[in-house]
Structure 1
Amino acid sequence: MDVVSDAVAAVRIGRPSSNRVRVSGSWCTRLAPYDGAGFHVVLEGSCWLLADGGTPLPLGVGDVVLLPHGTGHVIADAPVDAATVEQAVPFERWFEGDEARRSPAASGEVHMLCGKYRLDRSRTHPLMAELPEVVHLPNRVGTHPELRAAVDLLGHELAVQGPGSCIAVPSLLDLLLVYMIRSWAAQDTGGTWPAVLGDPVTAAALRALHSDPAAPWTNDRLAAEAGVSRATLARRFTALVGRPPMAYLTWWRLTFAATLLRDTPDPLATVARRVGYGTPYALSHAFSREFGTTPGQYRAEAASRTASA
């Protein structure tokens, strides 16, 4: 695994969902705040998006928008203001209403993919926490080719609904999420984690830690893996990530343990071995100190959250 894959896996639960929307005329719909992440892809036409507390954002053909923190928002055929927000129809009712989606083509037809991911925010990686409320990835020639390919594949799969679609669509949605985060990191040069991932030394160290968190890592061994001195690694890693390498490793081992407790039936002894703790007692003690709850209590609470999501 790598840091982006692990950051996504630590929060993702259940199956993502998506709808293919085709609408024309005058329309406006609101999506309420959601304990997950939402996205929109404009396949044809243009529209506007207004996130709660934000400013109107025009969207054109090929534009992708990710709302990683589930921010409530309005999408409409025209620029959105306070009066428009008051008149917005809830998305569920709007999407199910034939009249709303088949109105006369006064403003031109708009074709979109709208979807959402279920996320468990109890243990969020700082990379995911740093994502802005709205990630706008405009369609520009030569940018984000892998994201464009994923969008094309997903749009085709939703239109065709061929054999195996029940597996293909969720897998493509997971791929889309990774590509949206990767594209954000590539274009946001001012963020902390884009800088982390762009630094060859820190990125190499993180790649090593995430590839094998159970290994008996030391600062010297990790520095050798990154190809620098121990002092250089400590300085660059701490400055960018915000904590020393071994402190990050301890935090990640426990966060990974929480993911395993949530997503697998593995006994505590197995979880302990997978995250680098010699005994279940050692893991339980560290886990309780870090998160204020025992592994067993966390597993029960996580099961309850997942069932109610």
Structure 2
Amino acid sequence: MDVLSDALAAMRTGRPHSGLRDKYAPWGMRVEDGDGAGFHVLLRGSGWLVPAAGEPVALGPGDIVFLSHGRGYALTSDLDREPEVLRFNADGSLPAPPAPAPGAVPDTVMLCGAYWLDRTRAHPLLSELPEVVHLPAGAGDHDALRAVVELLAAELAEPRPGADHIVVSLLDTLLLYILRAWWQDEARRSDHPTGWAAALADPAVTAALQAVHAAPHHPWTVEELASRAGLSRAAFARRFTTLVGRPPLSYLTWWRMTTAGRLLRDDALPLRHVAQRTGYTSEFAFAKAFKREYGVAPGQYRRKAS
């Protein structure tokens, strides 16, 4: 298991949605606070992204922006224009755009999408992202990311057999490529990257994280994880804690409980199987640990999440 894929799987809920949007100047739309994470790709034209905090960001053809924290923002052709609130459909999909005037040619074409996240167990890997992840066209070496954008735009422009499944798969792939591109750029921007950008670039810490994510049920010790990392126990513990933000066994417990929450929410596994998959030898010990972490018993959590 790789950490980035795992972190997204733990937070993702429901089905992602996307669509192509033709914009006719002057235009503006506002997305209000919510549980979603949104991305926008300017395929043609220009505009402005106005985040909840910080300066407006000028956008041009090929620019990609990703907003992961659920805070409101606006997209507009003109900073002086008051944008209209974009209201999602009940299933989380984008509303159909209004019909254009006959013969009108759009000034701007955007590829937009939304992912729904469970923020009660936000992985720090996503929590430390900036308010706006901006990937300007031509910045960095991200040919694969651009290829996914082109494939997704083509599927949305001309749906063909299998499009429903292909679009969802491409949306998941696009999200991973956006995040990978940002962390690669972050590591390149600094001689001494910090936080998860540094953790994912550190072979020793990554080896330990991959071990924990691949087998959260295993009775890991600091010594065993240090051996996986190729470091002494003390050196490993210091490096892991500095980059990840918590000691190795503390992260192990947190990840076990996060995994348990996802299994209870998304699967119909008996509690004893959830306990076994997350490293607990008895259902009682698991229920006690789960209630200490979530404040409710596993069964009650499952009922609320269903």
Change (3 A) 1:180 1:274: same
> Aligned partners of 2:177 and 2:209: how far apart in 1?
19
Q: Which of residues 84, 89, 104 in structure 2 aligns to 1:89?
A: 84
Instruction: Judge conservation of contact 1:28–1:76 (CA < 8 Å) in 2.
Output: yes
Counterparts of residues 176-195 of structure 1 (less than 5 Å)? 176-189=174-187, 190-195=193-198
Change (3 A) 1:142 1:237: closer
Q: Cα deviations across residues 122-147 of structure 1 (Å, max 9, x unaligned)? A: 11111111112211111116522221
Q: Cα deviations across residues 38-72 of structure 1 (Å, max 9, x unaligned)? A: 11011112111111233211111111111101221
1:306 match: none
Alignment RMSD, CA only?
1.9
> Aligned partners of 1:143 and 1:301: how far apart in 2?
44
More helix, by proportion: 1
> Aligned partners of 1:191 and 1:97: how far apart in 2?
45
Q: Which of residues 181, 206, 222 in structure 1 aligns to 2:209?
A: 206
Change (3 A) 1:241 1:92: closer
Amino acid at match of 1:188: E
Shift of 1:103: 8.2
Q: Cα deviations across residues 72-114 of structure 1 (Å, max 9, x unaligned)? A: 1221223x14xx2xx2122349953224x77845xx6211111
Q: Which of residues 275, 285, 288 in structure 2 aligns to 1:285?
A: 288
1:307 match: none
2:107 match: 109
Instruction: Judge conservation of contact 2:135–2:182 (CA < 8 Å) in 1.
Output: yes
Instruction: Judge conservation of contact 1:23–1:103 (CA < 8 Å) in 2.
Output: no
2:248 match: 245
Amino acid at match of 2:161: P
1:49 match: 49
1:271 aligns to 2:269 (yes or no) = no
Counterparts of residues 42-81 of structure 1 (less than 5 Å)? 42-78=42-78, 80-81=79-80
Instruction: Judge conservation of contact 1:204–1:225 (CA < 8 Å) in 2.
Output: yes
Shift of 1:25: 2.7
1:230 match: 233
What percent of counterpart residues are identical? 49
Instruction: Judge conservation of contact 1:23–1:102 (CA < 8 Å) in 2.
Output: no
Partner SS state of residue 114, structure 2: strand
> Aligned partners of 2:132 and 2:25: how far apart in 1?
26
1:126 aligns to 2:145 (yes or no) = no
> Aligned partners of 2:23 and 2:97: how far apart in 1?
12
1:159 match: 157
Shift of 1:264: 0.4
Shift of 1:191: 4.6
> Aligned partners of 1:17 and 1:43: how far apart in 2?
18
Shift of 1:284: 0.6
Q: When the two structures are aligned, how many residues end up with a matched partner?
A: 295
1:301 match: 304
Partner SS state of residue 213, structure 2: helix
Partner SS state of residue 181, structure 2: helix
1:173 match: 171
Partner SS state of residue 15, structure 1: strand
Shift of 1:296: 1.0
2:16 match: 16
Partner SS state of residue 96, structure 1: coil
> Aligned partners of 1:249 and 1:208: how far apart in 2?
10
> Aligned partners of 2:231 and 2:172: how far apart in 1?
35
Shift of 1:155: 0.7
Instruction: Judge conservation of contact 1:65–1:135 (CA < 8 Å) in 2.
Output: yes
Shift of 1:24: 2.8
Q: Please report the TM-score for the alignment, with normalisation by the length of structure 2.
A: 0.91
> Aligned partners of 1:133 and 1:255: how far apart in 2?
24
Q: Please report the TM-score for the alignment, with normalisation by the length of structure 1.
A: 0.90
> Aligned partners of 2:56 and 2:250: how far apart in 1?
41
Instruction: Judge conservation of contact 2:140–2:185 (CA < 8 Å) in 1.
Output: no
Structure 2 gaps of 5+ residues are: 89-94, 188-192
Instruction: Judge conservation of contact 1:219–1:230 (CA < 8 Å) in 2.
Output: yes
Structure 1 gaps of 5+ residues are: 304-309
Partner SS state of residue 13, structure 2: coil
Deviates more, 1:38-47 or 1:69-78: 69-78
